[in-house]
Structure 1
Amino acid sequence: MQLDDTSALVTGGASGLGAATAAALAARGARVFALDLQSGIDRAPDVAGVTYVATDVTDPEQVRVAVEQAAAAGPLRTVVNCAGIGPSARILGKKGVHDLALFAAVVSVNLVGTFNVLALASEQIARTEPDAQGQRGVIVNTASIAAYDGQVGQAAYASSKGGIVGLTLPAARDLAQYGIRVCTIAPGIVETPMLATVSDEFRAGLAAGVPFPQRLARPEEYASLALMVIDHDYLNGEVIRMDGALRMAPR
């Protein structure tokens, strides 16, 4: 998939995986529209070729406006869904039963938000002219190894990410007739703002559990893998783990 003079959409694009991916796509010549909440955009880096658009991924109208803005700037070819939240709570803990509203919020942002962007963006991608191989675009979603190895307290998060894994193949099959590929990356433990509040000792403990390389992943490595998926025209309907062979323990 050629990126020069095309538009790309990245959700969660103001920080972490999304910010690294937005910068990598811009460096490859794409006009990048980074979607995030305004609070995130206020702290986002200034990157050449990246336009920030305040968007709640769970709001269909806001997403539709952002998608149309990206499509108006050039053929929309690429979407990378990185927006997500990860609060933890046990199903039955010291404070009682898992809050249903919290469970619904995690699923809404992580799974429903991903589907919302995928669906509305694919509508615009399908309107573009295909390339010589019949391709119109590629959508990369973000799951987590928690989809397979959910830990104590990750019932909501693991459910939402498992839903993204389950979405991958039917989405690829649904959109094949339009020349749109769909793949998912399932990262392990990545050095993102979510880990910014933990101690160096705790971070070192997390890294020690990774077989090799024995460190946390970097957002730039996620971005590099996303670009590989975009470049590799025969990758479709696949979930790729990026975790250093880590299999999470129960806790």
Structure 2
Amino acid sequence: MSKTDFVLSMRNFGYTTELPTVEQSTVFLRQNLGCRAATLPRWDPDGNQLYTKREKRRKMTYYIADSAVFIMGNCDLDSSLIITVPSVADELKSKDSELRFDLAKEGGLRVEWPEPEMVKEVRKMAEHTRDSEELSKTDLEILAKALEYRDRGILLTDDYAVQNVAVQLGIQVKPIAQKKIKDIIIWQKQCIGCKKTFDKGDVCPICGSPLKKKRKKSRKEKSYS
């Protein structure tokens, strides 16, 4: 509730103060809205609403990081705003990337397991876009974590297959070193021999020739700016 809405609500119940005191707010909330004192809004002397630490966290933008963030080492974000998944650490092979990961953890990096339901939703979308063959277990998990924070998070990745699935799930994406994808793509497989197309596979079931990945359709990516 904004300060204006709160004051207007108080006026409707007979209060005339411009900026309610804590005592007035407490009485008003208890008597008319059935709220506890802990839920009352507070403002500073300039009329700016004050928020608790929990409320501030809810309003923050978080960055969901894949392994490239720690491998490339060109991310200057506050570590306390970065979230990743445990399997990302398994992809860090160099001492430099491991050191960046450890330093980020000391700075507040959060390592969280993905929600199983989110992983299922990611798998479903990856099957739809035909990107499932390109995605590793870590890719699926980082996408699932980004999906969990979709309303207040940005996915940091250079992987085009990950980006392709992410944008179709409504996840905001920010590349690390590469350019961001411009088109959202649905893939299919085409036989290099008989030219028949299939949803998946590596060998043509008709003539036995190899299957090659080919765009089925694409559209411009939605802008989130």
Q: Which category of TM-score, normalised to the shorter sequence, fits these structures? A: 0.3 to 0.5
When the two structures are superposed, what TM-score results if normalisation uses the length of structure 1?
A: 0.32
TM-score, with structure 2 as normaliser: 0.35
Between structure 1 and structure 2, the one with the greater Rg is 2
Query: Relative contact order (alpha carbons < 8 A, sep ≥ 6): 1 or 2 greater?
Result: 1
